[in-house]
A = this chain, B = another copy of it.
Amino acid sequence: MNQTKSELSTDVAVILVIIGIIGGAPHVLLVHRTATPEQNKWALPGGKWNKSESLESSAEKKLVQETGIDTLYLEQLFTTTGLDDESSSAAVAYFALTDFTRVILRAEEEWKPDWFNVNELPELAFNNNQVIRQAITRIAAKLQYSNIAYSLLPEEFTLRQLQDVYEALEGQTVDRRNFRKKMLAGGLIEAIGKTRRDGAHRPAQLYTFLQREAVIL
């Protein structure tokens, strides 16, 4: 079920960059390889493309397997060759954006999954470090002109949580007042009139995205 067992080497694989924001830092879901090649390294989850279905639905199925959720934002990133140094396989990479609090990791010891901070990655199998870097770059760019952040947050969230998502992916802080103005002006989110208490300070308003499907501005 996982990436590039050797009998797949002449075939097409689907690999997933599953991103979630944990503690204000973007994290990626990796699995621990128990098979050669690249045994004992961490790698992006993936699997053989099942030719009886589309690439997209192969990716979706794998995503559900790994996260337990099926209503995530999923987008094709690119297709590479030379994933496996010596072999002649092609891998179609997708990225998915998750609210990590809803993700239920598979509990198995074989191909055990775990979250890793994308800014502190070990050396991964194949070219996976590079695939992840490109995914983050694409996501950060797309945040600026779409509502895809909806997929990284729970249904109700504070403006602070939303800002944390943007800052984590852009890798830099932004002014709180300007951020708030831009988001509200953008017309993608609205206050729902509830507040959330969270410690010894003023409670925060809760917001939702008007649409929980991709909107490109």
Contact = CB atoms under 8 A, between A and B. Distances in A.
Interface of A: 10, 12, 49, 51-52, 54-56, 76, 78-82, 88, 90, 92
A10 B81 contact: no
Contacts of A90: 12, 49, 55, 90, 92
A90 B90 CA distance: 10
A151 to B, nearest CB: 20
A78 B54 CA distance: 14
A54 B81 CA distance: 6
19 contacts: A10-B51, A12-B12, A49-B90, A51-B88, A52-B88, A54-B81, A54-B82, A55-B79, A55-B80, A55-B81, A55-B90, A56-B81, A76-B78, A76-B79, A78-B78, A78-B79, A79-B79, A79-B92, A90-B90
A46 to B, nearest CB: 14
Nearest to A77: B78
Given A55-B90, A76-B79, A90-B90, 11 more contacts: A10-B51, A12-B90, A49-B90, A52-B88, A55-B81, A56-B81, A76-B78, A78-B78, A78-B79, A79-B79, A79-B92
